[in-house]
Amino acid sequence: MIELYREQGLEIYEKSHYSHGEHVTEVEQILTWYRRRNTRVLDIGCSGGLHALELAKRGFSVTGLDIEPSAIKLARKRARNENQKTKFYVLDIEKDMLPCAEKFDFIYSIGNVLSHVRKELMPEVLQKIYDCLDKNGILLFDVLINSKPFQEEISPDESELPIIWKRKIDEKTGRISMDGIFLDCGFIQHFDVWGHTVEEIVALLNSRGFRKVKYSPKLDFIAKDKTKNPISLYFRAECA
């Protein structure tokens, strides 16, 4: 059985999302507003390390975390091949403490990684992240959005990826049952994830001590969300 994010499944994931250098574009979009240089960066849910290594090439001191051992193995191999002094660790964000003997200036988690965190554990996870940030640190992440009307099918035209997503949501709990049909290879993956309302995320961030919360459908935070039912949104917040 193939599992997305793991070994052969990781190849499918990267081909579907980053085969045209999309990770470089995403890093460049982040750097349009994150203008600090040579700072300590933590990537939560780094997968095969594409974004982390791109930031390392630009002078950042980067640490990457992922729950999947085979993804970390690939990230470390890439770091050796590219002669980048990045650090990669296997870690479960729900259960484990973060490696923050020294505080990070910037922590990010993109690809809807935090939507996989059980909803009741989100306050604890955000607290862990807050405690690892420098006093002027910044957090960036995206999550799936629980909004009405909820889109139950997302086509490649809407997601810009060769994937059809079929989804059902429990509006009361935010639990999403989702199947991804990867058109290039005929691969189907099931997910049970969580959706949040914008108000829930803003309140959670504020309760953990974050301020200056902004959200956007794009990583450059220039575009404003004009849809009533966004699939996911990026959130950016600063330590108080």
Q: Token digits for 188?
A: 């189907």
Q: What is the 3-state secondary structure (H, E, C) of the chain?
A: CCCCCCCHHHHHHHHHHHCCCHHHHHHHHHCCCCCCCCCEEEEECCCCCHHHHHHHHCCCEEEEEECCHHHHHHHHHHHHHCCCCCEEEECCCCCCCCCCCCCEEEEEECCCHHHHCCHHHHHHHHHHHHHHEEEEEEEEEEEEECCCCCCCEECHHHHCCCEEEEEEECCCCCEEEEEEEECCCCEEEEEEEEEECHHHHHHHHHHHCEEEEEEECCCCCCCCCCCCCCCEEEEEEEEC
Looking up tokens 């980048």 gives 84
Q: What are 96-108's pLDDT values in tens digits?
A: 999 988 899 999 9
Candidate from 21-30, 72-81, 161-170, 230-239 with smallest mean pLDDT: 161-170
Out of 70-84, 138-152, 169-183, 225-239, which region has the weakest mean confidence (pLDDT)?
A: 225-239
Q: Closest Cα to residue 84, out of 141, 46, 125?
A: 46
pLDDT at 195: 96
Q: What is the pLDDT of residues 186-214, one digit of tens each?
A: 788 898 999 999 999 999 999 999 999 99
For the four alpha carbons of 75, 80, 85 and 90, in that order, the dihedral sign comes to: positive
In this prediction the pTM is 0.94
* Mean confidence (pLDDT) of the chain: 91
Residue ranges and CATH numbers for the domains of the chain are 8-144+195-239 (3.40.50.150)
Pairing of strands 104-109, 175-182: unpaired
226 has pLDDT over 70: no
Q: Is 176 left (phi over 0), alpha (psi -120 to 50) or beta?
A: beta
Q: How large is the average pLDDT for residues 80-89?
A: 96
CB 122 within 8 A of CB 202: no
Q: What percent of the chain has pLDDT over 90?
A: 72
What is the per-residue pLDDT for 180? 86
Amino acid identity, position 121 = L
